[in-house]
């Protein structure tokens, strides 16, 4: 039994094995930043094709940081760090000058544990709101509500977007407590919550008219945002603010996934649907925000501080001194 435990310990503390797992985690994490996460299955099939889309879904790369193999690699690294920390602590018990290394390993364990639990404790939501709209974040267990006061886009001389700015106000229990402007790479931070500027788009408000009955609807512009109109019908609309010199909407009406009617309509003009008419009354530009709260983040920072203090303590107790005219092995 002791021999088996020794072999397991040697396996977990082997430097080549540790480097291999670290490399796997590094490559996987890079993929997680490149490949969009937590999208519906059709997104990956449409974007990457049937073969690669199914490959990503089978490996769980669509939700990478919760995939079984990624979590297993993190747990493996955690066990390895715990064993190394135990060895360093035993050494430091006999030689107090080595406490710096023990602190460094303890800090790394704290970092890894916080990263391991982050996907399970992080609360986040996406917000698509037009200026003047109040977003009830408190109903989603965030500590405040958010009102979008204004949204504007800064453009380059050639007309391409340069930066997005969303002016918001923060409300607590019906009272405004703060105002801020959010832009790309400049989120709002308040009470442990971060609000990021993500994107923008158009909301189309219109009506479907069947005989004497009128049904209002709101649909987000773009083919990736179909609006369900019952169990079998869908509406997809794409807004063009300046098509042929005026705002127009291209729309497609689907039945059981197959298009049955398409058209191009100016705002306010009636179009045809099977057995009905459709009107797009107006388009409103919205700002896309991401709201995120990660309770594990302070522990990640604490781990970095602890590891850094350990490195500094070790270097102070074990400075490397090389005499002039000698190499590192002490030779001339």
- 143: in domain: yes
Residue 252 DSSP symbol: E
Q: Tell me the β-bridge partners of 179.
A: 169
Give the up-direction half-sphere exposure of residue 195: CA atoms within 13 A in the CB hemisphere. 29
pLDDT value of position 332: 43
Joined together, the tokens standing for residue 242 give 């300046």
Mean of per-residue pLDDT scores for the chain: 88
> Which sign does the torsion angle of CA 151, 157, 158, 163 carry?
negative
Can you list the residues of the chain whose pLDDT is less than 70?
Answer: 319-332
User: Are 88 and 28 members of one domain?
Assistant: yes
Give the contacts of 106 (CB within 8 A, at least 6 positions apart).
Answer: 85, 306, 307, 310
User: Are 6 and 118 members of one domain?
Assistant: yes
- 46: in domain: no
Q: Determine if residue 196 is left, alpha or beta; phi over 0 gives left, psi from -120 to 50 gives alpha, anything else beta.
A: beta
- 133: in domain: yes
Q: Report the Cα–Cα distance between both ends of the chain, in Å, rounded.
A: 49
**C-alpha distances in Å from residue 127, one per residue of 25, 53, 293, 325:** 31, 27, 14, 65
- 52: in domain: no
Q: How far apart (Å, rounded) are the C-alpha atoms in residues 285 and 204?
A: 9
User: Are 222 and 240 members of one domain?
Assistant: yes
User: Are 248 and 139 members of one domain?
Assistant: no
User: Are 185 and 236 members of one domain?
Assistant: no
User: Are 276 and 212 members of one domain?
Assistant: yes
- 49: in domain: no
Joined together, the tokens standing for residue 175 give 């009272």
User: Are 260 and 304 members of one domain?
Assistant: no
In this prediction the pTM is 0.70
User: Are 206 and 280 members of one domain?
Assistant: yes
Give the up-direction half-sphere exposure of residue 316: CA atoms within 13 A in the CB hemisphere. 9
User: Are 271 and 180 members of one domain?
Assistant: no
- In 10 A of CB 65, how many CB atoms? 19
User: Are 104 and 130 members of one domain?
Assistant: no
- 325: in domain: no
pLDDT value of position 213: 93
User: Are 117 and 6 members of one domain?
Assistant: yes
User: Are 14 and 74 members of one domain?
Assistant: yes
- 106: in domain: yes
> Which sign does the torsion angle of CA 239, 240, 244, 250 carry?
negative
Q: For residue range 210-225, list pLDDT tens digits in order.
A: 999 999 999 999 988 8
Q: Where are the beta strands (DSSP E) in 140-275?
A: 145-155, 161-172, 175-183, 188-190, 193-210, 213-220, 227-228, 233-243, 246-255, 258-266, 270-273
The bridge status of strand 276-293 relative to strand 270-273 is: antiparallel
Residue 63 DSSP symbol: G
Q: How far apart (Å, rounded) are the C-alpha atoms in residues 200 and 190?
A: 22
Compute φ and ψ for 295, nearest 5 degrees: -65, -20
DSSP helix/strand/coil, 268:
coil
Do 165 and 157 touch, CB atoms closer than 8 A? no
Domain total of the chain = 3
- 254: in domain: yes
Which structural domain, as residue segments, surrounds residue 116?
A: 2-34+67-122+297-317
């Amino acid at each position: 039994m002791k021999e088996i435990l020794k072999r397991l310990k040697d396996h977990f503390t082997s430097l080549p094995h540790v480097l291999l797992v670290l490399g796997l985690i590094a490559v996987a994490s890079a993929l997680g930043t490149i490949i969009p996460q937590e999208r519906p299955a059709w997104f990956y099939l449409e974007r990457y094709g049937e073969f690669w889309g199914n490959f990503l879904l089978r490996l769980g790369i669509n939700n990478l940081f919760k995939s079984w193999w990624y979590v297993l690699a993190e747990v493996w690294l955690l066990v390895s760090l715990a064993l190394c920390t135990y060895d360093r602590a035993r050494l430091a018990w006999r030689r107090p000058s080595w406490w710096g290394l023990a602190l460094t390993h303890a800090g790394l364990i704290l970092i890894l544990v916080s990263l391991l639990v982050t996907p399970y404790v992080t609360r986040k939501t996406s917000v698509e709101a037009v200026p003047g709209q109040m977003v009830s974040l408190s109903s989603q267990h965030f500590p405040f509500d958010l009102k979008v006061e204004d949204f504007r886009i800064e453009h380059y001389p050639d007309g391409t977007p340069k930066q997005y700015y969303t002016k918001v106000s923060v409300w607590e229990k019906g009272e405004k407590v703060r105002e801020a402007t959010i832009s790309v790479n400049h989120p709002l931070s308040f009470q442990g919550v971060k609000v990021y500027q993500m994107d923008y788009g158009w909301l189309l408000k219109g009506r479907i008219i069947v005989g004497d009955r009128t049904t209002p609807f709101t649909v987000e512009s773009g083919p990736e945002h179909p609006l369900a109109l019952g169990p079998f019908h869908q509406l997809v609309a794409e807004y063009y603010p300046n098509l042929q010199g005026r705002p127009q909407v291209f729309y497609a009406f689907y039945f059981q996934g197959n298009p049955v009617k398409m058209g191009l309509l100016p705002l306010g003009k009636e179009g045809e649907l099977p057995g009905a008419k459709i009107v797009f009354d107006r388009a409103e530009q919205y700002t896309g925000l991401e709201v995120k709260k990660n309770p594990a983040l302070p522990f990640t920072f604490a781990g970095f501080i602890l590891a850094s203090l350990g490195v500094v303590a070790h270097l102070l107790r074990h400075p490397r001194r090389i005499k002039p005219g000698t190499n590192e092995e002490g030779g001339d």
